[in-house]
Amino acid sequence: GENVEQHPSTLSVQEGDSAVIKCTYSDSASNYFPWYKQELGKRPQLIIDIRSNVGEKKDQRIAVTLNKTAKHFSLHITETQPEDSAVYFCAANYPFGNEKLTFGTGTRLTIIP
């Protein structure tokens, strides 16, 4: 099965600066890597995802990079704003059998005004 590690567990950045959250996965066959944002008291929501056939994907201030050789992927948020404060989860799939999606342990991001 898949094992996903996520770092850091907490991250504080000044408003306007960039934030980077990193994840590593164990199964080289994994081919789908989504990122979810969970605001306080709310449900996790997909913010961006990447598949193994691309190395980078951008959506406005958010980007995800994937290094298949090293088996790690990262979330980059530029020009951070107070509304970016939330818990962020990475995930990776196990593409065989039940194709389970395994989540990282989460990063609590705090944007300091």
Residue ranges in contact with other proteins by CB under 8 A: 31-32, 34, 36, 38, 42-46, 49, 51, 87, 89, 93-95, 98-103, 105-106, 108
Q: Give the Cα separation of 66 and 56 in Å (integer).
A: 6
Instruction: Report the nearest approach of other proteins to the CB of residue 20 (Å).
Output: 20
d(CA 65, CA 48): 11
Q: Nearer Cβ to other proteins, position 46 or 112?
A: 46
Least distance (Å) from other proteins to the CB of residue 16?
A: 26
Strand ranges, E, within 26-71:
32-38, 45-51, 56-59, 62-67
**By C-beta, is 6 or 80 nearer to other proteins?**
6
CB-count burial class (<10 Å; 0-12, 13-18, 19+) for 29: exposed
Q: Would you say 83 or 99 has its CB closer to other proteins? A: 99
